[in-house]
Structure 1
Amino acid sequence: MVSLKRIYTITGLVLLIIILGITALTTWYTVDESDQAVILTFGKVEEGITEPGLHFKLPWPIQSVEKVSKETFSLQFGFEEKDGKVKEFPAETKMITGDENIVLADLVVQWKITDPEKYLYNAENPTEILHDATSASLRSIIGNSKIDDALTSGKAKIEGDVRELLTSLVDKYDIGVSILAVKLQDVELPNDEVRKAFTDVTDARETANTKKNEAQKYKNQKMNEAEGEKKALESRAEGEKAARLERARGDVAVFNKLYEEYKNNPDITRERLVIETLEQVLPNAEIYIMNDDGNTMKYFPIRSLEKEQPKAAASEGSDNNE
């Protein structure tokens, strides 16, 4: 029969072994590269651990460790992609734009845990809070945007505004996460008829813009041509001006020269001017120099002599050749 003392001894040894085992197993822990941890002493957070490797602590239940991931998470708002299949949630994505149109908008939010203590203990379900904050931010920004911006070129601005508003809400809720990126996935109209009508309006607007651009191009072309013609006319006018000024200066110089000759020999100069004027006015007229002595008119046929001089010169040249 086993004695009571032996029973107590065996029980004590078992308890001691259990305590030593728990102590040995709970005084160390490892933190992976992708993890971060917090140390709790009797349920109170003492410090955060971000360095990977082997670490030691007081045994349980004095101290315990809570680990969370350092990886980047993706919150899929309005849809869920799992095993290559996409499940949509239209009730989440349907919202009204600032110009009172209905659109369906979904997005992806990239986020990570930056403060494990706040993430674990400041809120019961921080991911749900993040989801609700995302919904509120997206609806607020879409509600202040026009449908054209949401469907076409304004998506980048909407993404930036959503990220800014969502970041401010997350900081206000103090749940220990940071927003890294916000990306709109799809923004579309609720049904085919509305999509077709919007497409027609968009096509008409693009056609109008094309016509305006073509008209502006034609206007610029004609303006350039007119400017070129203007410069050409100005250049020709400047050239004509310079030519006339030079001719005027030449005429003044000739007049001054004639005037000097006239002052020296007025009679001869006067007769010369008369003869030159007659040659200009009547280029084919015969000019005679005559002297009237009262009875017989004598004249000197200058034109005949001028005609005979070339003939004489030609005959002299033929004689010399012989």
Structure 2
Amino acid sequence: MAENKYEINIDPDWIKKYLGRIVLGFLVLVAAVTSTKTVGPEEEGVVIQLGKYNRTVDPGLNFILPFGLESMYKIPVQRQLKQEFGFRTTQASQRSEYSSGDYGDESMMLTGDLNLTDVEWVVQYRIVDSYRYLFRVRNAEKTLRDMSEASMRKIVGDRTVNEVLTVGRQEVATSVEVLLQQLCDEYENGIRIDQVVLQDVNPPEPVKPSFNAVNEAQQERETLINQAEAEYNRVIPRARGEALETIQLAEAYALNRVNRAKGESDRFNSLFEAYVKAPEVTKQRIYLETMEKILPKIGNKIIVDEKGNNVLPLLNIDRAKAINP
């Protein structure tokens, strides 16, 4: 039998000498890896020591006890987070893409008038207390989702389907936001609700055509009502203005006639008083004033003597006026 040409001789002393160094270096490497933690600028680190809360560290490079004696949870306290209901966003951009999965179990709601509606909404929130977020509630994300769904079902259940689908959408979102924040404060989960947004509200697919027809009829009715009100606002104020103008003209005419009648009455009274005091003088004055008004209106004027037998044209005023204008 042939003998091996090459033989490896390992010195046991060499193994004892370097094995300890290798193990020590490995332990140092593991300790460095497990004790060095980097906390992002939007995060804070919660350090757990042997399963119990120990401290909260700020963003940056931090050190904890190695070999699992301490662990760290990184909580994004400066970032706005969101939960989606009834849909899922697969890619957020100018043209966001959404998952085609069926989420009808969480979006189908029963309204107060016993109608079904499909509500899709988004809850935007922030973590304001990392200690409460981790230790006050087990699985805070799942709990928040359950509270959001329960709040939406409660608010939608208190309103009619028309309110939810049309004019009451903003009120529904605001009411859900207030109720959800109250639940978060009650549960002490360290979460602050920033906003609740109704993404889309639609009737269920089987009844959607019928509902759209009813909605179009209601919109047409509102349009006709608005047109009638516009015509009313155009015609009625004009008629009222014309009526007021007629009334004011009548009042002015009545006032003019009354004042004129009063003036003539006062003139007659003053004339009568003058006549009582001096009848002849007053009669002569009235005669002269009357002739002064009548003579300019007469074409040809002939003056005669009251005792004369013949009619003699003593004065032709119109011809004299024509000669000497």
Which bin holds the TM-score, normalised by the shorter protein?
0.7 to 0.9
Distance 1:47 1:129 in 2: 25
Matches within 5 A, 1:107-256: 107-191=121-205, 194-240=207-253, 241-256=255-270
- Are the aligned partners of 2:123 and 2:196 in contact in 1 as well (CA < 8 Å)? yes
Distance 2:321 2:170 in 1: 102
Letter in 2 for 1:257: L
Distance 1:80 1:244, change over 3 A: same
Distance 1:23 1:246, change over 3 A: same
SS for the counterpart of 1:157 is helix
Distance 1:211 1:105 in 2: 30
Letter in 1 for 2:222: N
Deviation at 1:130, TM superposition (A): 1.9
Report the TM-score when normalising by structure 2. 0.75
Give the number of aligned pairs: 303
Deviation at 1:125, TM superposition (A): 2.8
Higher alpha-carbon deviation: 183-192 or 99-108: 183-192
SS for the counterpart of 1:34 is coil
Letter in 2 for 1:111: Y
Letter in 2 for 1:141: I
SS for the counterpart of 2:222 is helix
Distance 2:282 2:31 in 1: 146
Deviation at 1:61, TM superposition (A): 3.7
- Are the aligned partners of 1:160 and 1:182 in contact in 2 as well (CA < 8 Å)? yes
The residue aligned with 1:44 is 52
Deviation at 1:3, TM superposition (A): 9.7
- Sequence identity, in percent? 25
Letter in 1 for 2:175: D
Deviation at 1:299, TM superposition (A): 7.0
- Are the aligned partners of 2:46 and 2:55 in contact in 1 as well (CA < 8 Å)? yes
Report the TM-score when normalising by structure 1. 0.75
- Are the aligned partners of 2:275 and 2:282 in contact in 1 as well (CA < 8 Å)? no
Distance 1:54 1:94 in 2: 47
SS for the counterpart of 2:316 is helix
Deviation at 1:189, TM superposition (A): 1.0
Higher alpha-carbon deviation: 79-88 or 259-268: 259-268
Distance 1:272 1:79, change over 3 A: closer
The residue aligned with 1:295 is none
- Are the aligned partners of 2:156 and 2:172 in contact in 1 as well (CA < 8 Å)? yes
1:170-195 deviations in Å (ceiling 9; x for gaps): 33333333322211112111135x33
Letter in 1 for 2:125: W
1:251-275 deviations in Å (ceiling 9; x for gaps): 42254135414531349729967xx
Distance 1:24 1:102, change over 3 A: closer
SS for the counterpart of 1:59 is coil
The residue aligned with 1:66 is 73
1:11-62 deviations in Å (ceiling 9; x for gaps): 554444344334444443221113221112222111112x322223333443
Distance 1:16 1:127 in 2: 42
Deviation at 1:5, TM superposition (A): 8.5
- Are the aligned partners of 1:262 and 1:270 in contact in 2 as well (CA < 8 Å)? no
Distance 1:153 1:38, change over 3 A: same
Asked if residue 53 in structure 1 is aligned to residue 53 in structure 2, the reply is no
The RMSD of aligned alpha carbons is: 4.1
- Are the aligned partners of 1:289 and 1:300 in contact in 2 as well (CA < 8 Å)? no
| Gapped regions of structure 1 (runs ≥ 5) | 292-297
Distance 1:157 1:268, change over 3 A: closer
| Gapped regions of structure 2 (runs ≥ 5) | 1-8, 92-96
SS for the counterpart of 1:160 is helix
Distance 1:172 1:267 in 2: 110
Distance 1:316 1:127 in 2: 117
Distance 1:195 1:2, change over 3 A: closer
Distance 1:225 1:167 in 2: 54
